[in-house]
Amino acid sequence: MCLAVPMRVENVLPDELAIVEMGGVRKTVSLALVDGVSEGDYVIVHVGFALTRLDPTEAQKTLALFDEIAQAAFAGGREAP
């Protein structure tokens, strides 16, 4: 199963790279597949590559759903990964 997640672009770097963030987790990803990305944009990230830009409202909805899933899983007595 593959999972691509929305992440907010914090910094656009040289060489088609960017630092992105989600839930306090930061990583460097490639922007080679997406044109016109700016700081503050949301991108869908999979295996170190930004695949597309995402509408900020849709990104927030998706992140809220991820948060609900995590809270429900941990409320059932499961340990955090």
Structure confidence by residue, pLDDT tens digits, 48-60: 999 999 999 999 9
Which residues neighbour 8 within 8 Å (Cβ) at sequence distance 6 or greater?
A: 20, 21, 22, 40, 41, 42, 59
The pTM score is 0.82
Give the C-alpha separation, 51 to 81, whole Å: 26
Structure confidence by residue, pLDDT tens digits, 21-77: 998 999 999 999 999 999 999 999 999 999 999 999 999 998 899 889 888 888 766
Q: What is the pLDDT of residue 39?
A: 97
All domains of the chain, ordered by start, with CATH?
Answer: 5-75 (2.30.30.140)
Q: Tally Cβ neighbours within 10 Å of residue 55.
A: 11
pLDDT band at residue 12 under the 50/70/90 scheme: very high
